[in-house]
Copies of this chain bind each other. A is one copy, B any other.
């Protein structure tokens, strides 16, 4: 990987996001992205399988969830594990990239193929959480419901956070969303 271009990956991401926003995802080619970034297409393909993956390659939520559920103490309460995991991800991975994630969301919304890829990403996280909870000995319906709760809390909260124009941290909004979820279910 690019010992001569230490920031190649980030430059390619930046160039791709700019071009997708300016001229649309479908109309943008890999050579245009590399020209904007001042890099070669060969460098591009060392980092990404195709232009779509520039938007998704950073995502490792499913792997992180699997790791967390495998290494957590066996007696930890599952919902607490999920909330702690979500809050950590929110603070470490989402919070510093709010503008980037806003641009990403805007582009994904313009293209059916990107929306499908996004659904796939959500499903992969849900499935990782479900499988991780099954491995911890939870009954199948409980594991499935907690996995749904995890993705619901994350993605509804991220949308709300990206919509807002104040500085309420995503980790706090996740707590708000849980409160709202309990309220609509009248608990």
List residues of A whose CB falls within 8 A of some B CB. 77-80, 115-116, 119-120, 123, 140-142, 144-146, 148-149, 152, 156, 159-160, 163, 177-178, 180-182, 184-187
Of the candidates B79, B156, B178, the one whose C-beta lies within 8 Å of that of A148 is: B156
Of the candidates B115, B163, B177, B185, the one whose C-beta lies within 8 Å of that of A181 is: B185
Cross-chain pairs A/B with CB under 8 angstroms, 25 sampled: A77-B187, A78-B184, A79-B185, A79-B186, A79-B187, A80-B187, A115-B123, A116-B119, A119-B120, A140-B160, A141-B156, A141-B160, A144-B159, A145-B156, A145-B181, A145-B184, A146-B184, A148-B156, A149-B185, A152-B152, A178-B185, A181-B185, A182-B187, A185-B187, A186-B187
Q: Which residues of B contact A115 (CB under 8 A)?
A: 123
Q: Which residues of B contact A120 (CB under 8 A)?
A: 116, 119
Beyond the given A116-B120, A145-B177, please list 6 additional residue pairs across the A-B interface where CB-CB is below 8 A: A77-B187, A140-B163, A141-B156, A144-B156, A145-B152, A149-B185
Of the candidates B78, B123, B185, the one whose C-beta lies within 8 Å of that of A182 is: B185
Q: CA separation between A61 and B79, bound complex, in Å?
A: 30
Closest beta carbon of chain B to A121's beta carbon, Å? 10
Q: Which residues of B contact A123 (CB under 8 A)?
A: 115, 119
Q: Which residues of B contact A79 (CB under 8 A)?
A: 184-187
Q: Which residues of B contact A163 (CB under 8 A)?
A: 140
